[in-house]
Amino acid sequence: MALNLNDKRIPFGGQFNSTMLLVLLLVISLVLVVVYAREGEEGPLHTIQDSTSALSSPLSSIGAASSSLAASATASLEDLTADGQTMNQLQESNATLSQMVVELEEYRQEANRLESLIGLHDAYGFTSVAARVTGYSSDSYNRIITIDVGSASGVTEGLPVMGTTGVVGQVISVSTYSSQVRLLNDAQSGVAVMLQSSRSEGILSGSVEGVLYLEGVDEGVEVTEGEAVITSGLGGGYFRGLVIGTVSKVEQRQGDATRTIVITPNASFDNISEVLVVLGMSNNGAADENQSTANAIISTVGPDALLGNTSGNTTSNNDQTQNNSDGSGESSDSGSDTSTNSNEGSE
């Protein structure tokens, strides 16, 4: 019978050899275990084990190092995630603090403006109501602002309105809780004023371009740049003695019968935030010495003087008061002499 080389079946003899090999290995293993247990630490099997451990130790160290690196990398990733969250929190806190700084700065500026208005109120001695500006007209032909006080606060049409450094306009319409104010530089604005030094009177008019002009001043009156302009109180509406501004330009072209007088207002008409509506003046609206002093302070040293920096003017005011007192004393003496003469005449 021929042998088939392609037959992959294991012959019976091959299976027997595999079984014998397995049994042999088990016997050898059992013998090694018994010998290992009975021999001492200096025995050959222990020596072989120590040598094998020494050879495999570097591989174990490499494995441990790899595990440590993996753990460190994982921890680093977790730290990065935590740092990112902390950074987000810090950014949010920074944004909140920045917003608070802006709001506090706005409150500070508003407090300074209101303090200036209070100083103006005290300097003039008038009764007034403070108001916030809530609207602006963007039309150059109608320079009008809206304020948040009205008839409920005692506001009526025609009352003057002042900023921190001077007159800004006049109330033209009133509702219960709001009013409209026409600014001085509006083309339809007209105010009776006078030059503080010469007491010459004229009309202050606005213009389309927003420039203030002084008209109607007698041609024979000398007008100098830098001279203060105040309200005259004529024609009603504006009380007497409120500061308007100063003469900034006097021009008379050859052949013209009239001269052009330009006035620079003390008050700024741009970005007005708070104002005072003047409800009444002392002495029935007549300008007294306090109003003249207030005008002099504003015209010479600016609105900061109204916040307490008026030491330089206090001395001059005291001198003026002393002079007035001296004058009053002289008048009293004159009156006494007159009375004496009259009595003598009666006798």
**Burial status of residue 180 (CB atoms within 10 A of its CB: 0-12, 13-18, 19 or more):** buried
325: CB partners within 8 A, 6+ apart: none
Q: What H or E segment, with its residue span, contains residue 276?
A: strand 274-280
The structure tokens 């003695």 sit at: 241
The structure tokens 């109180």 sit at: 233
SS3 325: helix
**143 part of a folded domain:** yes
**179 part of a folded domain:** yes
**1 part of a folded domain:** no
Torsion of CA 96, 100, 103, 105, to 10 degrees: -130
> Domain total for the chain?
1
Domain with residue 205: its CATH number is 2.40.10.340
Question: The tokens of 229 are what?
Answer: 């302009």
Cross-strand partners of 128 = 278
Our measurement of the distance from residue 49's CA atom to the centroid of its chain's CA atoms, rounded to an integer in Å, reads 83
**152 part of a folded domain:** yes
Cα–Cα nearest to 213, from 258, 272, 162, 163 = 258
**322 part of a folded domain:** no
Torsion of CA 50, 54, 57, 58, to 10 degrees: -170
Does the predicted TM-score (pTM) go above 0.85? no
Q: What is the pLDDT along the chain (347 residues), one digit of tens a residue?
A: 444 545 555 454 555 577 777 777 777 777 766 666 666 666 665 666 666 655 555 555 666 666 666 677 666 666 666 577 787 888 888 888 888 887 777 667 666 666 666 666 666 778 889 999 999 886 778 899 999 999 999 999 999 998 888 899 999 999 999 999 999 999 999 999 999 888 999 999 999 999 999 998 988 888 989 999 999 988 777 888 888 999 999 987 766 777 889 999 988 888 888 898 998 876 544 444 444 545 544 444 444 444 333 334 434 444 444 444 444 444 444 444 444 444 443 43
Other beta carbons within 10 angstroms of residue 170's beta carbon come to 23
**107 part of a folded domain:** no
- Contact status, residue 137 vs residue 179, Cβ threshold 8 Å: no
Other beta carbons within 10 angstroms of residue 302's beta carbon come to 13
Q: Which domain holds residue 141?
A: 120-305
**261 part of a folded domain:** yes
**126 part of a folded domain:** yes
Question: The tokens of 135 are what?
Answer: 């609207």
